[in-house]
Chain A
Amino acid sequence: MTALLKVEKITKKFGDFYANNKISFDVKTSEVLAILGENGAGKTTLMNILFGHYTPDTGNVYFEGNAIEFGNTSYAIKLGIGMVHQHFTLAENLTVLENIIIGRQSIFSLSLPKRHARTKILELSKKFGLAIDPDELVANLSVSEKQRIEILKTLFLDCKLLILDEPTAALTPQETDALFSTIRNMVKAGLSVILISHKLNEILAVSDRIIVLRNGSSVGETDTNSANREEIAEMIVGKKIDYPQKTKISRKSMILSLLDISYNKTDAPNLSAINLNLYGGQILGIAGVAGNGQTTLAKILSGHLKATRGKIIFEGAGNVLVSPKTFMDLGVAYIPEDRNSDGIVGDMEIWENAIMTEMDDRFFRNSLGIINRKASFDRSKELCETYDVRMQSIRQRSRLLSGGNVQKLLLGRWLMRKPKIIIACQPTRGLDEGAIASIQKLLLAAQRNGSAIVLISEDLDELLSMSDDIAVMYKGSLSNSIKTSTTDKLSIGLQMAGEGF
């Protein structure tokens, strides 16, 4: 096999920070190369260099033996490099066909060869098993359909090397399998694929070779056949990972029950007649593709939205629940999905964020409302030590913390209050393996202390390993929860796609 792409000693600095440091690798014809690494390891920067969004400081890239010109996406496309970005690059106001053909002619050309393009798109879609209606408006399509268009776009440009950046982030397990079979079809047809991901299981299932990046440098390379899951995970993090162990906890009394909760307003995905019981010491996992109402449910459970119908009963008594504050006082902790915009105030200092929820407590302020700095600093230091929030100083702006540390700060802030219920929305999304393990350990420890946890996640592996019971959300309805031990990935995946609703 010959090398289609050869990358030599690519270095890219942003200020003093090395995003890529002397990275070299090659991609052979008809090969799936996986690039693994934590967030911030330099994967996306590297791909942006290959595809011409960035110019590297030093280094060369050869495609089919020719040195490529940097900082020019149209040149990369002309050579035959296609890229599917993590965030789709589609215009929703245009049709599938229009999204695909744009860029094929000069913008000064006077006609659009739509008929010819339609024939070619239909041929490609048949050849690679990517079903699509060329005249549908992109706004009406689902996530996996949009991804199909992205792939078709690159195939339409006769690409030889396809770069997929986190392609499975928003797909159900079945859709992921369909994507992988498309990838295999492409490789069979002589294309090469670079797959960027942090989901190890998927990488092991579909790739031929693996490269691991850490802190901007390439730290390992292995054939997938001879690879070992734990070894690669350690290579990614750079140290041994202490995986969380779930222990059997006996269920305590019922803390919360929802009766017929519905939501029908236009500002959030709707819910219809949701019933749910939650017990102390229970982790209830809620699976579902994003946008099916999980976030609405979490916001209702934490008081950020008011259900249009139905009842929430805390510990047997129907309380008057008017604001997030009432919920907090009842012992509800809420880990929002978007931790940076809804969880912390990035431009405030760590200690300020750490005591933000405690402003009612006279221990932290006097009767005039002036903050007791000493008490606050002590509390913040204690929090950071207890929950291993790594920072230079509590006077540092919270924005500068990594995702994992922000999440530990947030979770720690709640755990200090000894919550009865924790509503955790996507608590490990976008975190790297090491941080995922720490967050999961904290949640399991809270469970041992008797807290009930609602774990909303799109990561099925996480749900299966963490929860005692699992329910699935689909278009605003919640399935009955079943014991985790009696179900598996496949049947949950089918439910996520709407089966049984």
Chain B
Amino acid sequence: MIEFIEIIFTAGFWAATIRIACPLILATIGEVLCERAGVLNLGIEGIMSIGAMVGWMTVYLGADLYTGILAALVIGGIFGLLHAVFTVYLGASQHVTGIGITMLASSLGFFCFKLILPASTTPPKIKPFQPIDIPFLSELPFLGPAFFQHTPFTYLAILVVVFAFWLMNSTPLGLSIKMAGENPMALEAQGIDVFLVRTIAVVLGSALMAVGGAYLTLSAFDAFYFGMINGRGWIAIALVIFASWKPERALIGALLFAGLDAYQVRAQQLAGAIIPYQFFLMLPFLLSIVAMVIAAKRTRYPKALLIPFRRGERH
């Protein structure tokens, strides 16, 4: 029994937690930005997928890794813009548009992948981001290997949380985004273009989602294959609610989920003979649902979420 507890005292467990959390952090913060402005973005799964493909392909075709991140950022922004045109400017259903974008983006991503590399049966590989040792800190016992021997992309993801926190709480744009998702008429009455604010939020949020996808192909693994996002986008949608639409709490939620995931992999190896491994696979999702139920009780939705804004219309 003691082995099950010992797992959480290994540096490897904590390092894995952070690795697993990164794409979720980026995607959840992206979704937070969209929903805070009043736009649900169910395109997240597809946008992550095409971000993973485009980031990887850019590097495979000879560019460096940072250009890969940038390429993912741009493709995410483009799909965000598409989502915004339909849901913000044309007032179309956010659910339908989002699902459509997920199907379009993930299929288009794989289609292009096959178009460029038609012959490959085993996925080709790139040289992904390598862990860097942060001077002095990485030499600390336990803490060093757990937290200070990650890839630059990992630290970038943590920086995004700081950036999002600053954006939401200390800038006029952040304030406008929060208002656009609560009472867009209030924003309009103050002379700010609601359509513009919502579009910026959706484009920026979608770009972050795509970068979250690219983390998988540029840092966590070294290849791209179809279906590799594997529901991470949907997890992010749930984490947004767990996080009460706050970037700093998105970090906690993503770490919690990732921790459970990292734990179950290790627990599987210990008890694989006695308990079926499917039980462990299920564990993070089960506990997430419990955490969600507890967290969601106190949560407050952005009031204008899902409601298209129309200028001059009375409510």
Interface residues of A (CB under 8 A from B): 44, 48, 53-54, 73-78, 83, 85, 87-94, 98-99, 101-112, 153
A75 to B193, CA, bound (A): 12
Across the interface, do B191 and A107 meet the contact criterion of CB distance under 8 Å? no
Q: CB-CB contacts of B186-200 with A at 8 A, as 1s and 0s? A: 111111100011001
- What residues of A have a CB within 8 angstroms of the CB of B191 in the complex? 73-78, 103
Q: With the chains together, A293 CA to B308 CA distance in Å? A: 32
Distance in angstroms from A161 CB to nearest chain B CB is: 15
Quick one: given A105-B172, A108-B173, A109-B172, are A92 and B182 in contact (CB under 8 Å)? yes
Residue of B173, B185, B300 touching A93 (CB-CB under 8 A): B300
Interface residues of B in 157-189 (CB under 8 A from A): 170-173, 175-176, 178-179, 182-183, 185-189
Residues of B within 8 A of A76 (CB): 191
**From A87, A89, A98, A110, contact of B175 by CB (8 A):** A98
Tell me the complex Cα distance, A478–B187, Å.
Answer: 39
- 11 A-B pairs with CB atoms under 8 Å apart are A53-B311, A53-B312, A73-B191, A76-B191, A77-B190, A87-B315, A90-B186, A91-B183, A91-B186, A99-B186, A110-B171
- CB A148 to nearest CB in B, in angstroms, measures 15
Bound-complex Cα distance A152 to B192 (A): 18
Q: Is B303 an interface residue (CB 8 A)?
A: yes
**B205 interface residue per 8 A CB criterion:** no
Residue of B nearest to A93 (CB): B182
B186 to A87, Cβ gap below 8 A? no
State the CA gap A98–B183 with chains docked (Å): 13
Is the interface on chain B under 10, 10 to 19, 20 to 34, or 35 or more residues? Answer: 20 to 34
Question: With the chains together, A48 CA to B314 CA distance in Å?
Answer: 11
Please give the distance in Å from A116's CB to the nearest CB on chain B: 14
Which residues of B are found within 8 Å of A101, using beta-carbon distances? 175
Please give the distance in Å from B310's CB to the nearest CB on chain A.
Answer: 11
Task: Report the bound CA distance from A77 to B189 in whole Å.
Answer: 9
At the interface, yes or no: B51 with Cβ under 8 Å from chain A?
no
Knowing A53-B311, A93-B300, A112-B170, the reply to whether A83 touches B178 (Cβ < 8 A) is no
Instruction: Provide the residues of chain A in CB contact with B253, threshold 8 Å.
Output: none
Query: Within 8 Å of chain A (Cβ to Cβ): is B302?
Result: yes
Chain B residue nearest to A48 in the complex (CB): B312
B303 nearest CB neighbor, chain A only? A92
- Set of chain A residues within 8 Å of B178, measured between Cβ atoms: 91, 93-94
A89 to B185, CA, bound (A): 6
Most A CB contacts (10 A, CB to CB) among B190, B300, B312 go to B190
Nearest CB of chain A from residue B311's CB, rounded to whole Å: 7
Contact B185–A74 (Cβ < 8 Å): no
Q: By the criterion CB–CB under 8 Å, are A112 and B183 in contact? A: no
Which residues of the other chain, B, contact A93 by a CB distance below 8 angstroms?
178, 182, 300, 302-303
A-chain residues with CB within 8 Å of residue B183 when the two chains form the complex? 89-92
> Chain B at the A interface: mostly helix, strand, loop or mixed?
helix
Q: Do the beta carbons of B179 and A94 come within 8 Å of each other?
A: yes
A-binding residues in B (CB < 8 A): 170-173, 175-176, 178-179, 182-183, 185-192, 196-197, 200, 300, 302-303, 311-312, 314-315
Please classify the interface of chain A as helix (H, G, I), strand (E, B), loop, or mixed, using the class held by over half of its residues. Answer: loop
- Bound together, the chains give a CA A394 to CA B283 distance in angstroms of 62
A91 contacts across to B, CB distance below 8 A: 178-179, 182-183, 186-187
On whether the beta carbons of B187 and A102 are closer than 8 Å, the reply is: yes
- In the bound assembly, the distance between CA atoms of A280 and B285 in angstroms comes to 63
By CB atoms of chain A within 10 A, which of B178, B183, B302, B315 has the most?
B183
**In contact, A94 and B172 (Cβ under 8 angstroms):** no
Closest to B167 in A: A110
Tell me if B175 and A112 are in contact (CB < 8 A): yes
Query: Please, which residue of chain B has its CB at the minimum distance from the CB of A104?
Result: B172
Given contacts A88-B186, A91-B178, 17 further A-B contacts (CB under 8 A): A53-B188, A53-B312, A73-B191, A77-B191, A83-B189, A87-B314, A91-B179, A91-B186, A102-B176, A102-B186, A102-B192, A107-B172, A107-B176, A107-B196, A109-B172, A110-B171, A112-B175
Distance in angstroms between the alpha carbons of A347 and B199 in the assembled complex? 35
Listed from nearest, the 8 A-B pairs whose CB atoms lie closest are: A74-B191, A103-B190, A89-B186, A91-B182, A89-B189, A53-B312, A91-B179, A77-B191
Q: Look across to chain A and name the residue whose beta carbon is closest to the beta carbon of B311.
A: A53
Contacts of B200 in A (CB 8 A): 107
Chain A residue numbers with a CB within 8 Å of B175 are 94, 98, 101-102, 112
Distance in Å: Cβ of B155 to nearest Cβ of chain A:
23
Nearest chain-B residue to A77 (Cβ)?
B191
Q: Determine the distance from Cα of A78 to Cα of B185 in the docked complex, in whole angstroms.
A: 18
Docked CA distance A76–B311 (Å): 16
- B187 to A: closest C-beta gap in Å: 7
Chain A nearest CB, measured from B176 CB (Å): 5
Could you say which residues of chain A place their CB within 8 Å of the CB of B171?
Answer: 109-112
B307 CB, min distance to chain A CBs, angstroms: 14
Write out the residue numbers on chain A whose beta carbons fall within 8 Å of the beta carbon of B182. 91-94
Chain B residue nearest to A103 (CB atoms) is B190
Least Cβ–Cβ distance between A170 and chain B, in angstroms: 16
Chain A residues within 8 Å of B300, by CB: 93
**In the assembled complex, which residues on chain B have CB atoms less than 8 Å from the CB atom of A87?**
185, 314-315
User: A95 CB to closest chain B CB, in angstroms?
Assistant: 10
- Residues of B near A109 (CB, < 8 A) are 171-172
Closest B-chain residue to A98, C-beta based? Answer: B175
Complex Cα gap A88–B190 (Å): 12
| Chain A residues, CB < 8 A from B189 | 73, 83, 85, 89
Known: A87-B314, A102-B179. A74 touches B170 (CB 8 A): no
Most buried by B among A44, A75, A78, A98: A98
**Chain B residues near A83 (CB, 8 Å)?**
189
Closest to B166 in A: A110
Alpha-carbon gap, A282 to B300, bound state (A): 45
With the chains together, A85 CA to B188 CA distance in Å? 12
Shortest Cβ distance from residue B172 to the other chain A in the assembled complex, whole angstroms: 5
In the complex the two chains form, is B303's CB within 8 Å of A107's CB? no
CB of B112, distance to nearest CB on chain A (Å): 33
A99–B182 Cα gap in the complex (Å)?
A: 12
Select from chain B the residue with minimum beta-carbon distance to A72.
B191
Which residues on the A side are within 8 Å of B173 (C-beta)? 107-108
Alpha-carbon distance A92/B304, docked complex (angstroms): 11
Instruction: Write the nearest CB–CB distance from B300 to chain A, whole angstroms.
Output: 7
Q: Complex formed: what's the CA distance from A433 to B228 in Å?
A: 67
B284 to chain A, nearest CB (A): 30
CB closest chain-B residue, reference A139: B300
| Bound-complex Cα distance A296 to B171 (A) | 43
Contact A102 B172, beta carbon cutoff 8 Å: yes
Docked Cα-Cα span, A107 to B314, in Å, equals 25
